[in-house]
Chain A
Amino acid sequence: MTHPLPCWLRAVLAGLFAAGALAAAEPTPRQIIARAALTEDAAQQRALISSLLGRADDAIVPLLEAWRKDALFLHTAADGTKTPVQLTGDPDATGARVASRVDTGGPWLDASGRPVRLNPSELTAVEHNTSLRRAMKGVLDLVDLAAADPAKRLKAIQAIGLAQDAEKLPVLQGRLATDSVPAVRRALREAIALIQLKDARDEVKLAALAELRELHPLASADFLQRALQEARERQNAAVAGAARAALRAVEDHRTTVDFLGTLFRGLSLGSILLVAALGLAITFGLMRVINMAHGEMIAVGAYTTYLVQNVFGAGLTIPCFGLSVPLPGLNLSGAAYQGYFLAALPLSFLSAALVGIALERSVIQFLYRRPLESLLATWGVSLVLQQGFRLMFGANNVQVSSPSYLSGNWLINDVILGWNRVFVIGFAILIVFGMWLVLTKTPLGLLIRASMQNRTMASCMGVSTGRVNLLTFGLGSGLAGLAGAFLSQIGNVGPSLGQGYIIDSFMVVVVGGVGSIGGTILSAFGIGGVDQVLQQYLPSVAPGLGWVPGLGGFLQNLAQDAAVFGKILVLAGIILFLQWRPAGLFVIRSRGLED
């Protein structure tokens, strides 16, 4: 962006520094930043920061970064004078660190010439807001053009391209000649083409359009649209044709991105459904217990994650039935704290498994031959557990933070792959594989399968079916707990967390075929995929559905509520599917007399 205010800005600066002997010399970037930190008027602060645009000075980046991260402080002396400072070196016993002056960069010396040491708690961080941060970003963008980190360069280049600032064209072209990272080179070409699109000369415009057609960046769609409009108004057929061709290339690319993105989102939603339903595939599918408390097992896992997070952090006190139970915290920080999630995974499995085992011993073991009563009993248990969560953790949702390794994303060919989503897909594959190993390769698995196929016969053969039942239910509940640990990363953790997943879980197991793990996997991915495909393509297909008798007008309006209608259509599809195949995708046939 060209700076519109250099004249008055210089006047402001001159005014500011006239009092000192600095009026003649141009202030250094350090002095400007110190001045900005002291200024309380937001507009002036922005103007001062923006005046750093294009200045090359090693001090700019660390100072602005520190400001953005609340590490730039104002010290208020007893007489009210304020000094912007940074803290350096290690803290001493009282937590105080050596203060360095922002305006000179040197240590701050007191009257006797000794460095001043300050405690961060006595200082106030210099404030900042979005528009100021954007001004800083504008400055950092140009500084970032020369950054060593290609990702930083990339961001800076994209921002410059979108601003279509012709003044920065030579800088970009210079960069293109020297930079060797392919992704950065591509971004440079895009940015240059976008800037050239504004050029008055037709041949430059045509070259830019050809370049954009070849590179087809999504960000250029709006700019191309504008160029096309302009060319049409001027009746410039050549430019209009080129713009149309470039726009078509971008739209084609968008179609591919949407398709791949939908595929990925379908996979990730399917994985979530699978992770949530897998425990139920055991307790309901194999054991035939209509386990309405499955959702609360998920919640047990999620709350365990919350507890582990707090134990890794500052600890917490749980008001447990009138008593206050204090949980000491380890007060970890950084990578060790971030590791809480990895520790939470096995612990949430264990805690949910223990609750499941207790549930099996106290209620379910008496109801194996009475499935409808098990439905009512487990429903009651689910209500009791929900109220228990309310008593222990309060009716409000609790907050589970995402560790940094789960909160970023990869951008591959413009498709966003969120790390948490990639993680859940990998996680689902891992636990399906683990379960397959347990069920088919271990003696326990053999006993489980035998007991589930025919309890009486297995018992006659000397299998202790009571213990096998106990372990199987524990395994199913533990898997639900694992699901809870994961779901805490993408949604809310609250007393009614389980209610949101219980219906989906039953849906997945029933469609897959009760008793068939393979069916559960297939139906989870099927339902997830269909849901995402509908969400993505309903809005574009809907307008063409006017011909459907009776429903045409209604269907044409689906664009806005695609998320809801996707779900409704999936549910309707499942109902029809179950009419056709009441036993689900895979029917388990056995020779047991009870079936």
Chain B
Amino acid sequence: MKKLTSLLGAGALALGASLASARAAETVKVGVLHSLSGTMAISETSLRDVLLFTFDEINAKGGVLGKKIEPVVVDGASNWPLFAEKAKQLLEQDKVAVTFGCWTSVSRKSVLPVFEKNNGLLFYPVQYEGEEESQNVCYTAEAVNQQATPAVDYYLKEGKKKFYLLGSDYVYPQTTNLVLLEYLLSKGVPLANIGGGFRKDGSGKIISAGKYTPFGHTDYQQIVAEIKQFAASGDACVISTLNGDTNVPFFKEYAASGLTAETCPVVSFSISEDEFRGLPADKLVGQLGCWTYFQSINSPANKKFVADFQAWLKKSTVPGIVKEGRVTCSPMVLSYVGVYLWKAAVEKAGSFDVDQVRAAWKSGLSFEGPGGKVTTQKNMHLTKNVYIGETKADGQFKILSSFNGVYGEPWLKGKFK
């Protein structure tokens, strides 16, 4: 019986596929590859939502090159090998023109060989560690110099002299902190004023900087006590790449030990507006964030974007979509901007062919997005604005400082001397 139903199902699918190919003349298939289940679903589902919104917005205005976008949404299920399989399916079976997807660096690394082998095109929207420049990936994401180093610049301007590095133990925090170490040393901060600890290889070269805790760590007593001693002599700050819900026990312990944003501020690179749906914002008031977009940006383009997105959510019929309390954040806006840049590249090339689209991307396209103007670069990254914001009790950020037109530079190791 079971076999029969699955056979029927397969038949229906095949029928659907042939129908779809009959319509293919008027539509262009676009892949969406995010985790819609598992641990990463909380963050990644928001990106799927904003992508579907963007496709509807573009389709309402006539689509791309006269063709309507037809999204093919697949679930990576927070399972990295599955991401590669799903990517293969998108490229080889569905033959999508472009894919928007991935959040974690490990998922990107896992799909990268698939995209390179099939000459596909992936748009990657989440802040990452750099040291990568694939011809098959358009990095709309923040490179380290579009998030971490501007935050350090801000701290230096504020007169901070001691920097404590803290992160979750995986590739993004490890690489970012190494770059930050080089950057801080190049700015004349002595090694003794950089906290968290170092790891050296046999020759005494530092191969890792900062303090690391595993995912799901709950006991931050000792680390907070160490930060308290580190900050005792004033002018200290914390640079945190802690990920996900480990931020809750950390900030609870931080507040309980009497450390505040005024005595020793923390800048977090992984907490955006969307994360505050699951984090206590009142424990983070005054702490800093650094992104290329904040929902509080006061521009007509952004106000329209936020209003349009929320109006779209209200009448959306996507099953299980969350409609209440939704916000916009940097990875969402970079997904949104990515779709429009892809559209611009396709229109410039006059074709959906990946090689021609890439050439159009490299020629330097610009788009006025909700976070300001973005421009594509030859190295597959984006020039964009960077904002520093201070957390408010409602989970929004008050913008303190901005850097306009920061060039995205993925290769930073060994750059700062």
Binding site for B on A (CB under 8 A): 127, 129-131, 133-134, 137, 159, 162-163, 218-223, 225, 254, 257, 261-262, 265, 268-269, 395-397, 399, 401-402, 407-409, 411, 416, 418-421, 489-492, 494, 500, 531-532, 535-536, 539, 553, 557, 559-564
Contacts and interface: CB of A to CB of B under 8 A. Distances in A.
B199 A559 contact: yes
Closest 7 CB pairs of A and B: A162-B234, A222-B233, A219-B232, A559-B197, A396-B278, A560-B197, A418-B256
B44 interface: no
B213 interface: yes
A130 B249 contact: no
Given A131-B158, A401-B280, A532-B221, A395 B41 contact: yes
17 contacts: A127-B398, A130-B158, A130-B288, A133-B262, A221-B232, A257-B229, A407-B256, A408-B256, A411-B258, A418-B221, A491-B252, A535-B222, A559-B199, A560-B210, A560-B211, A561-B169, A561-B212
Nearest to A534: B222
Contacts of B200: 557
Contacts of B252: 402, 489-491
Nearest to B225: A261
- Contact size class for B? 35 or more
Contacts of B233: 162, 219-223
Contacts of B221: 265, 268-269, 418, 421, 532
Given A130-B286, A564-B214, 12 more contacts: A130-B158, A219-B233, A222-B162, A269-B219, A418-B256, A491-B248, A500-B218, A536-B222, A560-B198, A560-B199, A562-B222, A563-B211
Contacts of A402: 252, 256
A384 to B, nearest CB: 18
B26 interface: no
Q: Please indicate which of the listed interface residues B196, B219, B282 has the most CB atoms of chain A within 10 Å of its own CB.
A: B219
B213 A492 contact: no
B212 A416 contact: no
Q: Please indicate which of the listed interface residues A159, A399, A407, A492 has the most CB atoms of chain B within 10 Å of its own CB.
A: A492
B261 interface: yes
Contacts of A411: 258
A560 B168 CA distance: 11
Contacts of A265: 221-222, 225
A163 B256 CA distance: 25
A129 B219 contact: no
A405 to B, nearest CB: 12
A563 B213 contact: yes
Given A219-B234, A553-B202, A396 B222 contact: no
Nearest to A543: B200
Contacts of A531: 219
Nearest to B257: A416
A536 B253 CA distance: 17
A257 B221 CA distance: 14
B223 interface: yes
B152 to A, nearest CB: 16
B245 A494 contact: yes
A535 B245 CA distance: 21
Given A130-B286, A553-B202, A564-B212, A532 B256 contact: no
Interface in B34-83: 41-42
Q: Please indicate which of the listed interface residues A159, A261, A411, A500 has the most CB atoms of chain B within 10 Å of its own CB.
A: A261
A417 B170 CA distance: 31
Contacts of B196: 560
A416 B225 contact: yes
A411 B404 CA distance: 44
B245 A492 contact: yes
A75 to B, nearest CB: 21
A404 to B, nearest CB: 11
A395 B262 CA distance: 34
B108 interface: no
B9 interface: no
B208 interface: yes
A445 to B, nearest CB: 33
A129 B400 contact: yes
Contacts of B245: 397, 492, 494
Nearest to B258: A409
Contact of A418 (B42, B199, B257, B288): B257
Contacts of A163: 234
B248 A492 contact: yes
A137 B286 CA distance: 14
A409 B214 CA distance: 26
A555 to B, nearest CB: 12
A395 B261 CA distance: 30
Contacts of B265: 130
B282 A401 contact: yes
Interface in B243-301: 245, 248-249, 252-253, 255-258, 261-262, 265, 277-280, 282, 286, 288
B197 to A, nearest CB: 4
A230 B106 CA distance: 48
Contacts of B235: 162
Contact of B208 (A489, A532, A535, A560): A560
A411 B228 CA distance: 11
B398 A420 contact: no
Contacts of B228: 416
Contacts of B208: 560
A265 B257 CA distance: 12
A407 B212 contact: no
A129 to B, nearest CB: 5
A537 B169 CA distance: 20
Interface in B6-56: 41-42
Contact of B169 (A219, A269, A564): A564
B141 to A, nearest CB: 24
Q: Please indicate which of the listed interface residues B213, B232, B233 has the most CB atoms of chain A within 10 Å of its own CB.
A: B233
Contacts of B234: 159, 162-163, 219
B258 A129 contact: no
B256 A409 contact: yes
Q: Please indicate which of the listed interface residues B198, B208, B278 has the most CB atoms of chain A within 10 Å of its own CB.
A: B278
A163 B216 CA distance: 38
B217 interface: yes
